[in-house]
Chain A
């Protein structure tokens, strides 16, 4: 490795002959050598492997054979795939705005609260520190029917009918989404608080001098200036919801992604195809779809940030 050459004596003169600029370039590549290897072997090479596998019928037992786009044709013809596709976007389309609006409202008001500010903030932040796989089981218990379930126990004690929650094709997805929103809210609140703090007070003072009301200040100053923070959070939480897995896996172990696939996100389908059915080629094709979706989301982010 270039950076270690100067320790050997005969090379010493060679190293000394280099200009300062050349030495620095050698140092730089020396610093980058291991990381470049890492990214090449652990990130880029596997990416190409995944693309390649998506065109094969590899199932662990038989060696992979090239089968063209058969996996993609099968996927696009599979009603279960489209159900999963819709679910994935349902997590995204409901989860992101709901959690961001709640997080913003809370941080907007929490920013002005001084009494026990740190304590209240900690209350909201604590769930972010929990392990999703562990809390999924806590929530799973909450959602049980009577006589064991906590929420249904509360409902029936005040005379309301019990709800099926995880046993319903319409309630299960929202029920799982709530747990993801719950866990991510604290992070978003902290980031919003930081964003609010970063807005110079002079803007507000000028606005008050101009006689703007609270609402006008919010819409004309706070929200526009908070844009980078908001874009960051939108992207961050969108990617989180698109990749949801831990909660769904742990809350539906008896009928994974069920009932009737109503909660199954793309990542769970990938997991099942690859590590339950050993249908590696088909799973690889699903990962390519996930990659494409995330790429589009990232490109939209770049576009939004550039427009500023």
Chain B
């Protein structure tokens, strides 16, 4: 993106500054980038090959076919898993955007006894690895009948300390004057947060949303444990079981992997600017 380099010192057009070293650096960086996407390219190209062609390691299939996609999608499981992943990721993202920012705002903008303890308590959960909690969560889910439900997949991630911390950092940059002015206008505290403070931190909210969505879209460990019926699998879990059941037919596995990857790639191409900025923001403040 050109805007990121606009305020660099050398304002000459690039071709005026061509040096052999720069050309070499550019070429190496470019080739490195090509290597990085090679696995993706091969995945897509193999997904377009028939079973007989997969031993032929050409990048561009001799006779491309969408047959594998038709076969994979035919029984409807992938669409089902896609929908499950979408429901889970969207619900968890909405919950995080709401609660993490509400808690972050409260901790940043309210003065009350116990505030610091609550903040430390929430922050300390960052040090508890999910893996330590899965056994108790599993036990809890079995007792409450949450195994194999959307709620069972979602409940551990409904709020995160990372998101709370990130939002607290951003709300601290919101001037108190804005909030005081709203209070004078007679708005209640909830509306002040929702109508006044939230719009001032939209970049942070989009960063939080992107991270939460991507994290839940690709999540594997907990969904693998808590879901047991095919109906409730998320896309990664479904793909993993599909791959085993396919008796290692690689063109089918590559098609499944491609189907799991396409949505995030499309989202990236559309929202590239927001995503990169969001990742940068989260990285710098987090």
> Is chain B in direct contact with chain A in the complex (CB below 8 A)?
yes
Contact in complex: A50, B57 (CB < 8 Å):
no
Min CB distance A217 to B, Å, is 13
Query: Does B220 lie at the interface of the complex (its beta carbon under 8 Å from any beta carbon of A)?
Result: yes
> Which of chain A's residues have a CB closer than 8 A to the CB of B60?
none
Please count how many residues in chain A sit with their CB below 8 Å of the partner chain's CB atoms.
95
Min CB distance B116 to A, Å, is 13
In angstroms, Cα B9 to Cα A298, docked, is 38
In angstroms, Cα B239 to Cα A284, docked, is 28
Our pick among A106, A109, A250, A287 for the contact of B132 (Cβ within 8 Å) is: A287
> Which residue of chain B lies nearest to A154 when distances are taken between CB atoms in the complex?
B57
Contact in complex: A109, B29 (CB < 8 Å):
yes
Residues of A within 8 A of B (CB): 3, 24-25, 27-29, 31-32, 34-36, 38-39, 42-47, 49-50, 53, 106, 109-110, 112-118, 120-127, 129-135, 137-139, 141-142, 147-148, 150, 153-154, 182, 185-187, 190-191, 193-195, 197-198, 201, 204-205, 229, 232-233, 243, 245-246, 249-250, 253, 267, 270-271, 274-275, 280, 283-284, 287-288, 290-291, 294-295, 298
Contact in complex: B32, A124 (CB < 8 Å):
yes
Contact in complex: B110, A133 (CB < 8 Å):
no
Min CB distance A297 to B, Å, is 9
B1-43 vs A, Cβ < 8 Å mask (1 yes, 0 no): 1101101110000100000001001101110111011011011
Contact in complex: B134, A274 (CB < 8 Å):
yes
In angstroms, Cα B286 to Cα A148, docked, is 44
Min CB distance B176 to A, Å, is 13
A194 touching B280 in the complex, CB below 8 Å, given contacts A122-B272, A123-B34, A141-B254: yes
> Which of chain A's residues have a CB closer than 8 A to the CB of B115?
28
Contact in complex: A290, B132 (CB < 8 Å):
yes
In angstroms, Cα B46 to Cα A141, docked, is 11
> Which of chain A's residues have a CB closer than 8 A to the CB of B32?
106, 124
A284 touching B265 in the complex, CB below 8 Å, given contacts A134-B236, A182-B39: no
In angstroms, Cα B132 to Cα A295, docked, is 12
Query: Does B260 lie at the interface of the complex (its beta carbon under 8 Å from any beta carbon of A)?
Result: yes
Query: Does B122 lie at the interface of the complex (its beta carbon under 8 Å from any beta carbon of A)?
Result: yes
Min CB distance B139 to A, Å, is 7
> Which of chain B's residues have a CB closer than 8 A to the CB of A28?
106, 110, 112, 115
Residues of B within 8 A of A (CB): 1-2, 4-5, 7-9, 14, 22, 25-26, 28-30, 32-34, 36-37, 39-40, 42-43, 46, 54-55, 57, 99, 102-103, 105-106, 110-113, 115, 118, 121-122, 125-140, 155-156, 158-159, 164, 188-190, 193, 214, 217-218, 220-221, 224-225, 235-237, 239-240, 243-244, 250, 253-254, 256-257, 260-261, 264-265, 267-268, 272, 276, 279-280, 283-284, 286
> Which of chain A's residues have a CB closer than 8 A to the CB of B57?
150, 153-154
> Which of chain B's residues have a CB closer than 8 A to the CB of A186?
36
In angstroms, Cα B99 to Cα A276, docked, is 35
In angstroms, Cα B164 to Cα A153, docked, is 49
> Which of chain A's residues have a CB closer than 8 A to the CB of B126?
298
